[in-house]
């Protein structure tokens, strides 16, 4: 598993595509938060907090993570090296986890430079440094769990086709439906209790709950279960293709 993990990291740094994806993530965040006028602009927002960044980040990760994961297994299938991975003296779970953890670390590397925003925003307040660090920690904690789910979905999607563009689109659609789909459906339901239940099936409700600084075991269980579910589907898909 460690060898596969290292290979994923090395392939990222050996390819300009990886740098391009991370660069675009940081550029887009920077433009929306500091340059473009609108709902996400921190200067227009008028409050020195990171709420706008973490309202925007899930939508940018919706494209970033599938871009990072789309070649995980699809490239192996295209090059004919998937069989070599399957027959190696390690379990399929170890192979999948190696791919998953490698991409997860890459996504966290992309997120890491945004810590600069914490310092910048803390300096913009009426009282310098008067930033709720507990809330900031909640934001980042929620983002890490969300990234893990997106990554698991992306890795699973990469087993469905050799075509990386098709994989990219499938991952975006699945991530979108699980993040916002239930939220959208809940607004169409007149019954309040049913609406709240349906909303709770989506990632957005649980992400926003953690982002408020409330570490609820139900939210953690939800994200952990969803991540493991898609990793399980990945293993099943690889087993079926190997038969």
In this predicted structure, what is the pLDDT of residue 13? Answer: 75
Domain count, the chain: 1
Residue 30: how many other CB atoms lie within 10 Å: 14
Q: What is the mean pLDDT of residues 83-89?
A: 64
Point out the least confidently predicted range of 3-7, 53-57, 163-167, 182-186.
Answer: 3-7
Closest CA to 103 of 6, 175, 174: 6
pLDDT value of residue 65:
92
Predicted confidence (pLDDT) per residue in 45-55, tens digit: 666 667 778 88
Average pLDDT of the residues in 12-41: 80
The pLDDT of residue 178: 94
Torsion angle, alpha carbons of 115, 117, 122, 125, to 10:
-160
Q: CA 171 to CA 66: how far, in whole Å?
A: 6
C-alpha span between 220 and 88 (Å, rounded): 33
| 8 A C-beta contact, residue 19 and residue 10 | no
pTM of the model: 0.89
What is the per-residue pLDDT for 86? 63
Structural domain containing residue 220? 1-241
């Amino acid at each position: 598993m460690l060898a596969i993990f290292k290979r994923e990291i090395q392939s990222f740094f050996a390819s300009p595509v990886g740098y391009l994806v991370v660069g675009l993530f940081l550029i887009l965040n920077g433009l929306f938060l500091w340059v473009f006028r609108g709902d996400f602009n921190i200067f227009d927002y008028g409050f020195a907090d990171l709420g706008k960044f973490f309202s925007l980040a899930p939508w940018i990760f919706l494209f970033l993570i599938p871009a990072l994961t789309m070649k995980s297994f699809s490239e192996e299938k295209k090059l004919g090296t998937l069989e070599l991975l399957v027959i190696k003296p390690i379990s399929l779970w170890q192979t999948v986890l190696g791919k998953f953890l490698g991409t997860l670390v890459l996504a966290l590397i992309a997120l890491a430079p945004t810590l600069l925003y914490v310092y910048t925003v803390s300096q913009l307040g009426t009282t310098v440094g008067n930033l709720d660090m507990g809330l900031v920690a909640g934001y980042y904690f929620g983002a890490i769990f969300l990234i893990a789910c997106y990554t698991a979905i992306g890795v699973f999607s990469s087993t469905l086709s050799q075509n990386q563009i098709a994989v990219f689109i499938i991952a975006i659609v699945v991530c979108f439906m699980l993040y916002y789909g239930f939220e959208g459906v809940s607004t169409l339901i007149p019954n309040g209790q049913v609406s709240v239940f349906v909303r709770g099936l989506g990632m957005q409700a649980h992400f926003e709950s953690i982002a408020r600084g409330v570490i609820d075991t139900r939210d953690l269980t939800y994200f952990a279960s969803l991540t493991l579910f898609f990793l399980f589907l990945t293993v099943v898909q690889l087993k079926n293709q190997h038969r």
